[in-house]
Each structure stands twice: as C-alpha cells, then as structure tokens.
Structure 1
C-alpha cells in the first residue's frame, strides 16, 4: 500500500463473529493495515473503533489503533455485549487495561477510544463513558431504550464535546438525541427518524449520518443553544442520495453508496461506486451545507484513498 500525499481515510469494515479462528484472522489483518499507516493523520476505521489518537497515549500510539471485539448479535440494532481489547501489534495480542466500572457489562459505542457502557442490554438505567487507558469515567443520563452512543470529540481534549444517542422508533426506525456536558437530560436532535444508523461523522460543528436506505441527515450543532428558543438543532435531509449522485453523474449506470461520509482534509466526502463495469469505478463527492440551510452534493477530484 503506497503512502498517499493527502491524509488517508482507510475504511476496513467487517462483522465480528464469535469463532476464535475468524477473529484471529480479522485482528491479524487489522494489524497489517495499521503497520502501513504513515502518521496519526491517517485514519483506520474498524466498524465502531476510535478514529483519532491523543498524545497522552504514547508510547502505545505507535501501534494504533486498539480493537474492541465481541460476539455478533442476531439483531443488527443491538451493539456488541461481551467485549475485549486488543492492540494490533505482532499478532494483535489482548491488551491488559483496568477493569471496566462494576455493573456495566454492555458496550454501546466506542467513539474516540471511549467505551459507552450500560448496565442492561434491554432496559438500561445507567450509562457511563469509560476510557480504558486513563481509567477515566464520565456518567451521563441514560436514555432508554438505547441503540448506540456517538461522541463528537475526545472529552479529555475538548470540553465542548457532544454526545449523540440513537433510539428505536417504531419497528425499524431510529431517532437521535443530543447531550452536552452539564445538561440535565437529553435533547431531541432529529425526531422524524431514519432507518438504522451505523456511523455519525462530525465536521465543523455539524453532525452527518447516513442510514441503511441511503438517506443523509445533517444537523447543525451550533444551533439550539438559545435557552429561549427550541433546543433542538436545525437539521436537513437528503432522501436517497444515490438518485442525487446519478443526476450529477448523468449516466444510466447504478450508483452504490459505500459506507458513511468520511471527514478528510476539512471536507466531508461520500464514496460512490458506479456499477456496470469491471472493475467498478469509484467516485468521490463532497457534501456541503449552504447558507440557506440546504445541502449540496459536489463531485470532486479523486485525491483521497478509501481502502475496503
């Protein structure tokens, strides 16, 4: 793998299984990719694994990233329950860290190296963020039901970080909630709901996510802070982004969006495959929020590398 000039966003998506042989093979592959990354500006995503590394993690940072692995569940909306930590270093041996907080047995997110732990996988009543290397704990109000927790930034680095929770809405939908440090409770972020949400990207004060039906939702986290107004942030939505891409491309081939939006070099990029040829051609589009609260999709030059 050649080292690109620009910061590389490497996407390596897998589904973990409970079989030891398959898990060992997965971690070995993650180790090989991690060893080839040239700097901390490069990002390696392994499902819901942390994407950035603090200077305080040295000397472990040279073996980034560590991997949270667990048993696969039948229901796609429920994150892994039993978990273990590994460093992708010479075989990805298990990493010995401090014990998690007592009574918090279920992991509902791994943003920025923090594990979002709850006390029950069906009706949680307590929620805590736990950073294994420093053994730091942050208690949050616990929304119930709960499907996933995402963090905008590392709480040990920035004080104005934001947490986003996803909840079931109906049988297959999900809605999002917002929490800022000091809030007494969660605020509704986008109540209209989408299909299942796998990943949320944060860039310049906005949250971006795409559901399994390829609907893109963008929320301006800088709004909703006025105590005299609606506390929910302003959100906008692109329905079926694949059809928007097809109009921009102006061809008759099927366009398949692969994975969530990726923040790279101050821009938010969307990777699209144009089917009908071998190999499939990859296109990268830039998602841009305009001043009139509309969302535009722009085609851009392919100067970022997506692996996976």
Structure 2
C-alpha cells in the first residue's frame, strides 16, 4: 500500500537522477577498484555488511540482492580468503558468512579510506557549510527510508500481525504507569475481512510498524494500535500508517473513524490533531484511554475529486 499522492513532477525526477549521477561518480562507485582496493563496490559493501557475521538470508534481504548473485560474490570472497561460510549452530537451514582475519584487515582499511574520502569532501567547506550539508543529508536519508517502506494489509491472524502487536504491547507496557494487559489487544477476526483491516509496515523485509481498523458502529470505524518500531521513528511512518487505515476505512464504507489514546502518549495526541482529528467525549470503556478523537473522512466523488462522506 503506497500513499495516494499527486503524480511525481518531471523536474523532481530529473533532480534526483542528476544527484545520483554526480554522487556515484564523485565517490568512485563506477570504478572496479573502489577506494583504490582491488575490488568493485559490490564486493566491498558485502564485506562491510558481513561485519561480525550474518546469515546469507539476512544479507540477501538487507542488500536487496538476487540469491544467485549473492552466492557468486560470497564464493569469490571465499576464494580470496576473506570470508568463510558455516552452518548456523542453531538452525541447520541457515548458512552464516564470517570475515577471516584477512577480511577484517581489509574492512579496517576500507573504513580508513572511506573516512579519508569523506574528510576530503568536507574539507572544501566552511564549518557552517558542513553543518548545512550534514543536516541536508540527514533529511535526505530520512525521506529515502520512508519512501522505501511499504505498508501492506495482512490477515489479522498472520505471524507479522501478531508479532507487531506483541511488540506494541511490550512497548506501551513500559510506558504506561499502570502497565498494559495484552488481553486488551484487538482479536484477529475484528481486523480482517470486509469490516476490518490490519496494516504492517515493512522496511527491507522487516516488520517495523502496524495499525488496526475495526467496526465500531454502522458507518463508523475505530483505529487501534498504531505503532512504529523505535528504530523507524521520526521518519513520518506513523502518519503513513494512519493514512492507510483511513483509506481502508473509506473502502469499507466508513464515513467516520474514532480512536482513543493514553494520557502518556503525548506524541500520539499531537499526531492525531495534526492529521485532522477532533477531540470528543468518551465513547468507550477502555481503561487505558484518557483522550478520544474523531475524524470525518472524504471519499472520491463521481468526478474523481474528493467529496465529504
């Protein structure tokens, strides 16, 4: 599920492509001897990612590589004495790649050269300009991460749905002064099918967020358990999940959605207000709730424009 947005402007595409071409050339990505070492960027990056050890499955997901291509690179690095592969001690189905002493030495040298390249680039700028550049890079990384995350509708009883709900419950159990009882979580049947939906956000194959929608009353849906993994926060992902839940509500015929939140979740309250939710009187008996919100939804009109439902 991707956010519904205006078509991407041609100029925006052109600017991003121009930056990609300049940056890849500037840091030597196109050279078969990346950073002056005797290997292309792909092999150098694989050595870096192996680090203290990683399964081939994890490397394939993290780097977005085809299994056959990854296997060929690993074999090439094995033949050079830089990597060794063994069976995972706890799971015979997994193979784990580890750096040899020679491999660790090469990664150390790779890091030294990469740091030198970065310092060389930054040295041509004043301190104020360096601050401006690093701030811009931070924003760029955040937005590119958000752009790459997908939000998908999954069955409420699926493994990822239950895993993210468990993580949500553990998270708020620590934040609520009174703790949290997992028995208060939505049931799979409530958030599946024609009247409900369960959304999971994925980053590089990992589930990093969730949100649920269930029927509350005729033409009224309720949003529950909007959660983002700590490592994926401050990207704008909670807003993306909330938007997906609202669109799922419209698709299921709900003209209004409601939700509640705990007094301790001040950031959630700010998000809901920023997204057009209005605080209303208590509508449920949720013992963890201190604030209740409602939002009227819009749906595409007959002419394709948004119309109020």
**TM-score between the two structures when normalised by the length of structure 2:** 0.25
Which of the two has greater helix per residue? 2
Instruction: Write 1 or 2 for the structure with the bigger share of strand.
Output: 1
